[in-house]
Each structure stands twice: as structure tokens, then as C-alpha cells.
Amino acid sequence: PIDLVSTYLGAHAMPPEYKDNREEFIDKIIGALPKIKEDNLAEFCDVFCEEGVFSIEETRKILGTAKNLGFKLKIHADEIVTLGGAELSAELGAYSADHLMATSEKGMEAMAKAGVIADILPTTSFNLNKEYAKAKLMIEKGVAVALSTDYNPGSSPTENLQLAMQLGSLKLKMTPKEVITAVTINSAFSVDRGLEVGSITVGKRADFVIFDTPNLEYIMYHFGINNTKDVYKNGIQVVEDKRVIY
């Protein structure tokens, strides 16, 4: 069983037929928001805020409307250029800002002050052979860092979270404890589930994985294979000795 958290990302790319009429497409995105909210189709709203995609002002307009309608917010920010998406995520009170390979120190400081989680996606950098986000600097500045795969067919065609963890250690220079924190409790809070899952705590759901490794460091050291031995979901064992039993 997999829990899903839904996000409306209508503003991910500008269709070519709207290249000369951007405002019409943005109005369509905004126009869909009330019905999406009414039908409970998405909990979050997200925008790809990037040079050549959606500008700061366009992003502010879409997400500002979404926030007023009760959506929680996320932003694809500063992936390619330092546009100011990180600062905007802080201004709007987003739960997380994603990518952040080009985020400035000013943007990091704004995120730290506002409590925005940095959702870093190292498998995208790996696949595109691009610069990695400055995760250690973010942590030093007080930003909570989450790690994920950015699984998608265009820039990161992998579901392998352990690879993202290993890249977090090898390329982002995060410690094993920082990596584990990033894929558990910080990731849970980035989708507003931190009070339900993300740590083994009394009162939370018992969702956890047991790795077949001698210690924590070995998970990062032994890359390229699945180190998972057992999986528990809601306290029920669903994988035993690498075999699905549920």
C-alpha cells in the first residue's frame, strides 16, 4: 500500500499554442482551482517558477490565488537560474521549495526564517549531469532538507529512493544521519504528514523499513542495490526478507 498526497501542477510548462498569449493559459490554470478544491482533487498547488517557464509574478499570482482558496503551497524553484523562487516560497509560506540547485544564500536564509523545507532531488542532477544543490550550506543556515527522486519520464526516470540517499551522501556531502532525517521526518513535514508518519514515535503510524546492513553508514556505502529487508505499513509487515507478503 502506498499513501498519496495530491498536488495540482497545472503550471509546469507553457503549451506552445499559448506562447503568444500567456495570460490566457494562466487564467485557465487559476480558473480550474475552485473546482479542484471543491471536489477535493488536490491538497497542494505547485508552480514551476523558472526562467522561460513561469515568472516570479506569474507564480505569485497563481499561488496567491490558490492560497486564498485554501490550498497548501509548493514551488519548483531556482532549478536552473537564480530567479528568486526560494524567496517567493518564503514570502508565500510554502511547505517546500523543490530543486534549488541555483538558490542564493539570501534565498536559503529566507527559507530558514519562514520554515520552508528544501526538497532536494539529486537524481535529477545526476541524470542531467547538472550541478547539485548546496544541501550542506542550507543545513548550516538552518533549512530543513528533504531528499526525493523527482521520479518523472523527462529528467529523473527512477523510483529508487536509496539512490537518492546515496547521492545525498556522495554528492551533497550530507552525513548518514542527515540523509535519514531528510527521507523520513523532513519529507513527511514537506507534505504536511509530519505528525502522522516520518519517525517511530508513540501515536504515529508504524510505517518503517528494516535494512539488511551492519550499520547506518553502510546504506550510503553499498550503492546500486536494494538494501531493504523488511517493510512494515501501518504496523503490518508487507515485505519479509525481500519478498512481498501482503
Q: pLDDT digit string (tens) for 67-76?
A: 999 999 999 9
202-224 mean pLDDT = 96
pLDDT at 1: 75
pLDDT exceeds cutoff 80 at 153: yes
Q: Which of 131, 97, 132 is nearest to 111 (CA)?
A: 97
pLDDT at 171: 97
Inter-residue long-range contacts of 123-128, CB under 8 Å, 24+ positions, other chains counted? 123/149, 123/150, 123/156, 123/158, 123/160, 123/163, 123/164, 123/167, 124/99, 124/150, 124/155, 124/156, 125/101, 125/167, 125/171, 126/163, 126/167, 126/171, 127/155, 127/156, 127/157, 127/158, 128/155
pLDDT at 231: 98
Residue 27 binned pLDDT confidence (cut-offs 50, 70, 90):
very high
pLDDT exceeds cutoff 90 at 2: no
33-50 mean pLDDT = 98
Does the residue 246 lie in any domain?
A: no
Is residue 50 within 8 Å of 81, Cβ to Cβ? Answer: yes
Give the global pTM. 0.95
State the total domains in the chain. Answer: 1
The CATH number of residue 28's host domain is: 3.20.20.140
Residue 139 domain boundaries:
7-199
A 10 A CB-CB count for 91 gives 16
Does the residue 190 lie in any domain?
A: yes
pLDDT exceeds cutoff 90 at 31: yes
Does the residue 218 lie in any domain?
A: no
